[in-house]
Amino acid sequence: MAKPPTWGRRFLCAMLALVGITLSCILYNTAGIASFLQLSNRSFLNLNYDAVSDEIKLKNVLKEAAMVDKTVILTTLNEAWAAPGSVLDLFLESFQTGERTVRLLEHLVIVALDEKAYEICKSKHTHCYALKTEGVDFSQEKLFMTEDYLRMMWRRIDFLRVVLEMGYDFIFTDADIMWFRDPMPFFYKDGDFQIACDHFNGNPDDRTNYINGGFKYIKSNEKTIKFYKYWYEKRVEHPGAHDQDVLNYIKGDQILHDIGLNLKYLPTVHFGGICEPSSDFNQVSTMHANCCIGLIDKLNDLKVILKDWRQYNTLPPSVNGRHEHKWRVPQLCR
């Protein structure tokens, strides 16, 4: 058989080489695109994984801790308050010494604001949740009204709104509040948003009562969710203001009427504090180390409050002194 001319062989080789190069480029680009898409998906998943994972963890811990009516008890603390011998120990001890309050620990979720507080919580309590805040170290004591303290308080407000959106009613309590009785019987049946007071004037509907945001009972509904969003947004108009102060500013705003929010103020006879101690040991539910700046001073007076409660419990019900028993605080919290 005759061989094809030389130019024909060269042309055929050139065409085959061109096809090979083209196929290689196509395969390389396809692999590159696939690799890029795979990396992009990984990046997307990594960016969103923590948020999704945290939401699932929160849903699980709320579900496990909730009462039959989907009510949970919530508190927040950092390492300084969680450390051995600090506020957390006294807080948990109060449930042990209160009247039928031990069972309430089953419904308490401790929200840890830093990793160390979360580790301590897990060693002492069943229901713990780590609330992450990027770029902020909440582990150390945050003095009242410092920048980090305010950031911590507003982070808490935003978190509580999320709990409401998940459909849970909650009793929020600062950890420097001693629990001596179940507060549920002392709440108002028609209140959407019920909050303790530094000073109570006797009228649960009077908005001149000066509130204390450390203890509140909030029902999950459209009204309270809208109000929590409004409250959080209003921080921008009041830079450097505490969440409690902002609430005092806005509690008379028209939005409360527009959304039909029923705001109730809780009497200090049931929900007392160092600002205004409960006047009756037979009716007290909680006692708060409010009107007190500094961890050392708080710890001192909280120990006194616990001791006063124990002494009250040692008195037989028939003894007249039981009805005249008095709190010995404030001491260092002056």
Helix (H, G, I), strand (E, B) or coil at 287: strand
Task: State yes or no: pLDDT of 331 exceeds 70.
Answer: yes
Return the axis-axis angle of helices 147-165 and 222-233, rounded to nearest 10°: 160
Q: How many CB atoms lie within 10 A of CB 48?
A: 10
- DSSP result, 86-147: SHHHHHHHHHHHSSS-GGGGGGEEEEESSHHHHHHHHHH-S-EEE---TT----S---TTSH
| pLDDT tens track for 89-142 | 999 999 999 999 999 999 999 999 989 999 999 999 999 999 987 655 555 544
Distance CA 273, CA 305 (A): 10
- CA 51 from centroid of its chain's CA atoms: 16
| Confidence band for 154, pLDDT divided at 50, 70 and 90 | confident
Distance CA 110, CA 117 (A): 10
Mapping DSSP onto H, E and C, the string for 162-216 reads: HHHHCCCEEEEECCCEEECCCCHHHCCCCCCEEEEEEECCCCCCCCCCEEEEEEE
**Cβ proximity of 320 and 326 under 8 Å:** no
Tallying the residues shown for the chain, one arrives at: 334
Alpha-carbon distances, residue 198 vs 6, 60, 67, 220 (angstroms): 103, 34, 28, 25
The residue ranking higher by pLDDT, 312 or 43, is 312
How many CA atoms does the CB half-sphere of 308 hold within 13 Å? 23
In this prediction the pTM is 0.82
The long-range contacts involving 51-56, CB below 8 angstroms and separated by at least 24 positions, are 54/130, 54/132
| Residue 152: per-residue pLDDT | 78
What's the mean pLDDT in 184-188? 97
Q: Which CATH class is domain 54-324?
A: alpha beta
Task: State yes or no: pLDDT of 4 exceeds 90.
Answer: no
Task: State yes or no: pLDDT of 28 exceeds 80.
Answer: no
| Residue 319: per-residue pLDDT | 73
Task: State yes or no: pLDDT of 1 exceeds 50.
Answer: no
| Residue 47: per-residue pLDDT | 40
| Confidence band for 150, pLDDT divided at 50, 70 and 90 | confident
| pLDDT tens track for 40-70 | 343 333 444 466 688 999 999 999 999 999 9
The residue ranking higher by pLDDT, 251 or 7, is 251
**Cβ proximity of 321 and 282 under 8 Å:** no
What's the mean pLDDT in 264-280? 97
The residue ranking higher by pLDDT, 281 or 139, is 281
The residue ranking higher by pLDDT, 244 or 170, is 170
